Every structure is written in C-alpha cells, then in structure tokens.
Amino acid sequence: MTHKGHDHRKCMALFEKMSEYIDRELDEEARALVDAHIRACCHCQACYETLQRTVDLCRSSAADYPLPDSLSEKLRAMIEAAGR
Ligand SMILES: [Zn+2]
C-alpha cells in the first residue's frame, strides 16, 4: 500500500500534539492545523479516535490517569507503519 502525497513528517508532528489537542491545551492556530490534518488523514483519524476513546475511559474511571506508555507506543507504531 502506498500513500502518494502523504507527508509522514506531518503525521509524526501531529502525533506529538494529539494529546494536547485532546486536552485542549493548544492555541487556536495549532488546534486548527491538527483538526485539518485529522480530517484529511485516515491514519491520524484512526489514531485520534483511539486516543480520544482511551482518554475518555481514563477520565471516567480516575482523574488525571496518565496515558499508558504501551498505548502511545502502539499509536506511534501505527503512524510509522502508515508512513511507509
Ligand atoms: Zn496523518
């Protein structure tokens, strides 16, 4: 599977911002960029949905529950695989 025109570097940069995006810690400009990329990129969209679901789960069970490292690793691997 090839992803012509898909800028893998953008995906990695987006991944770094995704948790801040979910926590609404980004300013308006950065949020708009992340938002636009998530809409345009199915890999990041899948990644975002997984992350969002996990964050929701964590929040409903315990306050300030940190994201498990294994999950961020899994999502990072997803994006890396998508860029190949
Ligand atoms: Zn992407």
Q: State which residues form the domain around 73.
A: 8-82
**Domain assignment present for 29:** yes
Q: How many CB atoms lie within 10 A of CB 55?
A: 17
**Domain assignment present for 25:** yes
**Domain assignment present for 49:** yes
**Domain assignment present for 3:** no
pTM value is 0.66
Domain count, the chain: 1
The CA 46 to ligand 1 mean position distance, Å, reads 9
pLDDT single digits (tens) 25-77: 999 999 999 999 999 998 899 999 998 988 888 777 765 556 667 777 888 88
The CA 66 to ligand 1 mean position distance, Å, reads 24
Residue 2's pLDDT band (cuts 50, 70, 90): very low
The CA 43 to ligand 1 mean position distance, Å, reads 6
Find the DSSP H helices in the chain.
8-22, 28-40, 42-61, 69-82
**Domain assignment present for 14:** yes
**Domain assignment present for 54:** yes
**Domain assignment present for 13:** yes
**Domain assignment present for 1:** no
The CA 67 to ligand 1 mean position distance, Å, reads 21
